[in-house]
Amino acid sequence: MVSADPIWHPSPNFGARRDGLQPHLIVLHYTAMESAEAALQRLCDPAFEVSAHYLIGGDGRLWQMVAEDHRAWHAGQGEWSGLSDINSRSIGIELDNRGDHPFSEPQMRVLETLMAQIMTRWTIPATGVIGHSDMAPGRKWDPGPRFDWQRLATLGLARPNGQPLAAPAATPEALRKAAQACGFTAEVDDATLLQAVRLRYRPWARGPLCGEDVAPLLS
């Protein structure tokens, strides 16, 4: 893995973690902006009231804007594993990417190193690494269909796809039960839930619900 020594670029957009909470999640985002510099400016502008703990440029540059023990404003409204206020429970990492092109190799290598460090510091398991779209289905799409979740899973940095012994039932009820067990507990309709699950596990899948949509959620 490569070095992950961040450039300190403080944002005024942060606060204390509420109710004594400590991070047990990492939330991954893409910036959806034209450059890392533009994203950095936005994340540090008090007028926009958004921030993240880290930003990784496409060239592998790494900035830290908020100390890990503070609450950055990156997740917004959403829910994971029945819990709200994800900002108080997580560390947010922004990736310089518009959402319509692959994530670069330098960026991914820095991300992997940074994540391993964060997960060790805060004892965050692989199951605690989620995308913005996981906790805010229908509202957010990032890190999007081009993000390589399987690469992280292979390194133990994200939940691997399940490998059920038998073909699972392809019903909305089966999908919801399996998705909720993995953490997808936000109240959304069946179509939005399927969309969120596919973004994470089968980003290029199309058409009606099938057993392959449920399978990755099963241990």
Between CA 201 and CA 150 the distance in angstroms is: 8
* Catalytic pick among 79, 94, 105, 173: 94
Whether 86 contacts 75, CB under 8 Å: yes
Angle of the 172-182 helix axis to the 190-201 helix axis, nearest 10? 60
Q: Which helix (H) or strand (E) holds 55?
A: strand 54-56
Question: To 10 degrees, the CA torsion angle through 15, 21, 24, 30?
Answer: -20
Whether 6 contacts 66, CB under 8 Å: no
Between CA 109 and CA 60 the distance in angstroms is: 8
Widest CA span in the chain: 52
- Among this protein's residues, is 94 annotated catalytic? yes
Which residues are the active-site residues?
94
